[in-house]
Structures are given as structure tokens and as C-alpha cells.
Amino acid sequence: MSMLLTTTSAIRFTHEGHSPGIDEIVCEGCFPIYLNGECISYHVASPDLLAELGAGFVLNEQLAESIENVSVEENKIFVEADKTAKAMWGTESASGLTNLKKPRKISSSLQITSDAVFSVFETIQSEQWQKTGGLHNSVLFSDGKKLICCPDIGRHNTVDKAVGYAELNSIDRSACYLGCTGRQPEGMVAKVANAGIPIVISRAATTDRGVIVAKETNLTLIGFARQGRFTIYSHPERIIP
């Protein structure tokens, strides 16, 4: 059994009747994140890729420019960074904390084909989601290759984990693009922009603020990536027909 999933007894009802059975369900935990010894957040998340979660959260919320080291002890995530900044916290669309600092602008010459966008759609629906219906997913790509798949109960966590993976493996994020299952409101778009990833492709919707932030930060925002179609909301010059 994956550390993302567990089993529980359940009773299934249909019009024909009911029967006992076993269901696979997602796991969740609470993980405090420490930055240079100070606790900055308590994250409810799926219990894997925790070092990546800590590194990505610190970068995506503009709390540091780069990460020196990450360690995980039991359920605690310890991040060390050379240069840190104070955050002005607010709540975003999922009622989680987000830094209200203005998002960074992206500098990248990356372009991808429309076929590459369609190929992202085929990978972002994870096997664990098909089993449970309870996990979001972000998938990081570079040069047409899938680098990491990051399912999690929280859509924001999936982005943090993907970005943390890139940081901890010295991957140039300006040459990457990201596929996501979740909606793209302002807070999600800002995370991707702060990470320096120039293209985000979601199978879900965006919001008015999500589009505004994408335009302001030079991010190519794509939504409703489904079988045979997608919608570009900002900076379409990065997508080659």
C-alpha cells in the first residue's frame, strides 16, 4: 500500500441494495515547516515528498531566494535558507495562508507546441486519483519529459512539491512547464510565477484575479485542458500551434 493511501471498511449502497466492502482512501497529516529554526506554517498534506514540500513552500511564498538544506524529522520539516524575507500573510481561495507580497515577473523564452499541452493532460490524472477521487496532482515537465509527479490532498501542496523537487535537484525552472489538476485562482498562479515557471496547464478553471496575475507576471496560463481542447488566458506567444 502506498503511503498516500490506506484502506477502511465501508458499506456501499446502490438501488439494488447494500454490501460491506473495503475502500481505498487518501492519507493526510499535519506537518510544521520551520525556516531557519522558526516555525512558519502548519501544513495539512499527504505524507510524502515532505522535503520538497518545505523547499517549495518557502520559495513559492517568497520567503527565500534559494534553499541551502532541508531535513525531515518525524513530521517536522526543517528548511535552511541563506536569505530570508518576512511575509505579510493573508488567506487565499482554499482558506490557507499566502504571502500578500506582489508576485515576481517571469523571464523565460520557453515555447512549447500545442501537442505538448495535450500530452500534459494525459499525465496529470494520477492513478491514485482514479482509485480514490481524493488527490490533486501537479506534474513538472522539461524538454517534453516528465520530471516528477506530485499528488497531494491539497492543490497548493502539489505545486510546492514540484517546485521543491526542481530546487533540490538544481533544475532550471525557467525551462519547465507545469501541469495541474486544480483551479488556478490568484494564489495558485502567484506560486507558479514566484517559482519562475513560465507555463501552467490546468484541466480546471481559473478566476479573474488568476488571469490578471498571469498577465502581470508574464505567465502563460492555460485552463480546461481536456481531450482535444484547451484555453489560453495569457501570453499565448509561448504556445506554438
Domains, the chain, with CATH or none: 29-99 (3.10.20.10), 112-240 (3.40.140.10)
Pair 192, 165: CB distance under 8 Å: no
pLDDT at 130: 73
On the CB side of 25, how many CA atoms lie within 13 Å of its CA? 9
Calpha distance 214→188 (Å, rounded): 10
pLDDT at 114: 97
Q: DSSP secondary-structure letter at 206?
A: B
How many angstroms separate the first and last alpha carbons of the chain?
A: 42
Helix axes 186-195, 155-168, angle to 10 degrees: 0
pLDDT at 57: 96
pLDDT at 94: 58
pLDDT at 92: 65
pLDDT at 96: 62
Q: Which three cell numbers stand for residue 21?
A: 466492502
Helices (H), the chain: 50-60, 114-124, 127-132, 155-168, 186-195, 208-216
Closest CA to 195 of 209, 211, 178, 179: 178
Element (H, E) at 43: strand 38-45
- In the chain (241 residues long), the average pLDDT of successive 10-residue segments reads 83 93 93 95 95 97 95 97 75 64 94 96 80 88 96 95 98 98 95 98 96 98 94 98 91
Closest CA to 197 of 56, 64, 11: 56
226 has which bridge partners? 229
pLDDT at 97: 65
pLDDT at 1: 40
